[in-house]
Amino acid sequence: MDGIGNPTVISLQIGDLAPNFQARTTQGNLSLSDFRGRWLVLFSHPADFTPVCTSEFIALARSKERFDALDCALMAISVDSLFSHYGWIKAIRDNIGVEINFPIVEDPSQVIGRAYGMITERSQDASAMRSSYFIDPNGIIRAITCYPATIGRSVEEMLRIVAALKRVDKGEAVTPEGWMPGEAILLPPPVDPASFEKSVSDPLWFYRLRDDSK
Ligand code: BEZ
pLDDT tens figures, 132-147: 999 999 999 999 999 9
Same-domain status, 82 and 175: no
Share of the chain above pLDDT 70, in %: 94
The total of structural domains in the chain comes to: 2
pLDDT, position 4: 56
What is the domain extent for residue 190? 171-214
Q: Is residue 197 part of a domain?
A: yes
Same-domain status, 132 and 175: no
Same-domain status, 37 and 138: yes
The catalytic residues are: 53
The reply to whether ligand 1 has any atom less than 6 angstroms from the CB of 152 is no
The reply to whether ligand 1 has any atom less than 6 angstroms from the CB of 53 is yes
Asked whether the whole model's pTM tops 0.85, one would answer yes
Query: How many angstroms separate the alpha carbon of residue 1 from the centre of ligand 1?
Result: 30
Same-domain status, 115 and 33: yes
The reply to whether ligand 1 has any atom less than 6 angstroms from the CB of 150 is yes
pLDDT tens readout for residues 191-200: 888 888 888 8
Q: Which residues pair with 44 in a beta bridge?
A: 77
pLDDT, position 169: 98
Share of the chain above pLDDT 90, in %: 83
Same-domain status, 73 and 134: yes
Same-domain status, 55 and 149: yes
CATH number of the domain bearing residue 59: 3.40.30.10
Same-domain status, 100 and 126: yes
What is the per-residue DSSP string for 105-150?
Answer: EE-TT-HHHHHTTSS-TT-SSGGG--EEEEE-TTSBEEEEEE--TT
Same-domain status, 114 and 202: no
Which residue among 50, 92, 151 has the greatest number of ligand 1 atoms within 8 angstroms of its CB, and so is best to mutate?
A: 50
